[in-house]
Amino acid sequence: MNFPKRKQKIIEQLSQTGEVDIKQLAAELNISEITARRDLNQLAADGLLYRTRGGATKVNPHEKPHSFVNKSAQNAAVKDAICRRAASQISDGDIIFMDCGSTVFRLCQFIKNKKIKVITNSLPVVYELQDSAVSVNIIGGELDKERQAVHGTTAIEHIQKYRATKAFLGVDGISEAGLFANSEHEASITTAFAASSAFTYILCDISKISKETYLNFAGLDIINAIITNADPERLKGFKESGIVILKADI
Amino acid sequence: MNFPKRKQKIIEQLSQTGEVDIKQLAAELNISEITARRDLNQLAADGLLYRTRGGATKVNPHEKPHSFVNKSAQNAAVKDAICRRAASQISDGDIIFMDCGSTVFRLCQFIKNKKIKVITNSLPVVYELQDSAVSVNIIGGELDKERQAVHGTTAIEHIQKYRATKAFLGVDGISEAGLFANSEHEASITTAFAASSAFTYILCDISKISKETYLNFAGLDIINAIITNADPERLKGFKESGIVILKADI
DNA sequence: TCATTATTAATCATAAACGATCAAAAAGAA
DNA sequence: TTCTTTTTGATCGTTTATGATTAATAATGA
């Protein structure tokens, strides 16, 4: 058992239990206590843990692990159907905005070979389009680790400098009262994208339709179309407000 | 059994079991231990594995969803020594710039628990810092897929809006004539970072010292310090220009 | 307060691994 | 073939990782 391997084990246990004990470490890794001690000293010197008497603890004990839950795999079939419909709206030469919605993310797989420019604040989108024909432009600014996306005033200013032919955005809820979001950050990004885009699509599955949650940040007038799997019958109200309804058949 | 064939076998076993042992390798491939040692050293210099005493281990112990092709694993030991020295210059509260240099990338592992802000144009840096205590700010603009970093006029303007206490940057070459880069994009980013930072460190291993390549984009006056593993004796000229030399002891 | 105990740093010892150097063998070029 | 270059192996002094020992230091409790 060499140092890199031990280091890995130590860091692993530390992140799980929050602390390690020299005696227990020595026993577990089949090394002498002094070697365990030396390992911990080395890792402490590199700032990877805090040395305590007889062991070590995490540097940031109360730090909540930024858990980016990738919701995009939930109801993948429905989301893919919506995204296929969305991708069919995109032609070569388009400049498109994509936000950090979980449905929007699944659009990536369908546009990899298109000759378009994508402007996005979503890191997963950037990663996914890394090996693609698409030219990528990243919105700059502060990174929201939980959402894996960029937000803040710098991001807004950045968006305002660009103009897109189409925007593909997600929302936390949409009703005849307009668009709803669970965070102000997300709301301002959505508003900025919509304002700088010639045509704005909202991608949402049936669970978001008629859902009113937290912040009603904009009216329906800032968007042009909804792509969803919901029955168009349920969407009559939107149609009457001039919104184009595109049904994704599953 | 020639080197390319052995290399393939070694990499294969490494990806399966995560580690190789020199004795076992020598026996298995019918070569002497010293040849096995030489093979591993070669592969370590190329960044294909990490050398340990008596063997080698994988570069990426856990499979990550996205992998960045990275020169940063090449000569990892030297780069780590430089980065340890660099990390020791960083205190909580600092706002630091990091560019897309391969040495700079390895600084991430030593700053994960620091309470600092990092502003960067490098995607691998962003990815590496996503589960850290560090607050991350991404430079916005066009993504250079080859370098996995953001560049362009938007990026420059973004950088100019921020002020950092320290910048940690890489170069393709440095001599008493100044800084050298292999691309204009990279040069302009480096210049912008240095201009907006109170103190600028260049991280470079000995191979970059006195190397003059392609574009001499700036004089030594835009930087404040060099962190390197090169012998300070060779760096007298820099010292006379008022550059602080920090020797990384390996 | 002091005494007891556990932990640590410092020092040393040892075996394994290492780099440097040179020689032999293999491969390639003239 | 002969010469040169590259690869491989052997030898040997040096370095490194590890563990044992012991004195110093810090925590704990009476």
Å from the B111 CA to the C8 C1': 27
> Do A49 and A92 belong together in one domain?
no
Per the structure, the complete domain to which residue A147 belongs is given by 71-247
Final residue in a domain of this structure, among B35, B57, B79: B57
Q: Looking at residue B130, what is its pLDDT? A: 92
Q: Looking at residue B42, what is its pLDDT? A: 94
> Do B131 and B212 belong together in one domain?
yes
| B23/A contact by beta carbon, under 8 A | no
Residue B142 to residue A136, Cβ atoms within 8 A: yes
How close, in Å, is residue A39 to chain B by CA atoms?
15
> Do B116 and B188 belong together in one domain?
yes
CATH number at residue B226: 3.40.50.10470
pLDDT tens digits along A171-197: 999 999 999 999 999 999 999 999 999
The DSSP string of B61-79 is: SS--SS----GGGTTHHHH
Q: Residue A98: inside a domain, yes or no?
A: yes
Residue B140 to residue A141, Cβ atoms within 8 A: yes
For residue B200, what are the β-bridge partners? B167
For residue A178, what are the β-bridge partners? A175
Distance between CA atoms of B112 and B212, rounded to whole angstroms? 34
A55 touches strand C (CB under 7 A): yes
B37 touches strand C (CB under 7 A): yes
> Do A115 and A41 belong together in one domain?
no
Query: How many structural domains is chain B composed of?
Result: 2
pLDDT score of A25 more than 80: yes
> Do A31 and A110 belong together in one domain?
no
Q: Looking at residue A225, what is its pLDDT? A: 97
Average pLDDT, chain A: 93
Q: Sheet holding B55-57: strands in order across?
A: B19-21, B55-57, B50-52
Q: Residue A24: inside a domain, yes or no?
A: yes
Q: Looking at residue B232, what is its pLDDT? A: 85
> Do B13 and B101 belong together in one domain?
no
Confidence band of B233 (pLDDT split at 50, 70, 90): confident
User: What's the mean pLDDT in B60-88?
Assistant: 87
User: What's the mean pLDDT in B107-135?
Assistant: 95
CA of A33: nearest nucleotide by C1' is: D19
Q: Sheet holding B178-181: strands in order across?
A: B173-175, B178-181, B215-218
Residue A138 to residue B135, Cβ atoms within 8 A: no
> Do A34 and A134 belong together in one domain?
no
> Do A151 and A28 belong together in one domain?
no
> Do B154 and B37 belong together in one domain?
no
Confidence band of A65 (pLDDT split at 50, 70, 90): low
Q: Residue A63: inside a domain, yes or no?
A: no
> Above pLDDT 90, what percent of chain A?
86
> Do A45 and A115 belong together in one domain?
no
Confidence band of A64 (pLDDT split at 50, 70, 90): low
Q: In A, which residues are within 8 Å of B158 by CB distance?
A: 140, 154, 158
The complex scores an ipTM of 0.90
In three state form, how does the secondary structure of chain A look? CCHHHHHHHHHHHHHHHCEEEHHHHHHHHCCCHHHHHHHHHHHHHCCCCEEECCEEECCCCCCCCCCCCCHHHCCHHHHHHHHHHHHCCCCCCCEEEECCCHHHHCCHHHHCCCCCEEEECEHHHHHHCCCCCCEEEECCEEEECCCCEEECHHHHHHHHHCCEEEEEECCCEEECCEEEECCHHHHHHHHHHHHCEEEEEEECCHHHECCCCCEEEECHHHCCEEEECCCHHHHHHHHHCCCEEEECCC
How close, in Å, is residue B84 to chain A by CA atoms?
7
Q: Residue B65: inside a domain, yes or no?
A: no
Provide the residue type at B59 as one letter: V
> Do A11 and A111 belong together in one domain?
no
Q: Residue B230: inside a domain, yes or no?
A: yes
Q: Residue B19: inside a domain, yes or no?
A: yes
User: What's the mean pLDDT in B43-63?
Assistant: 91
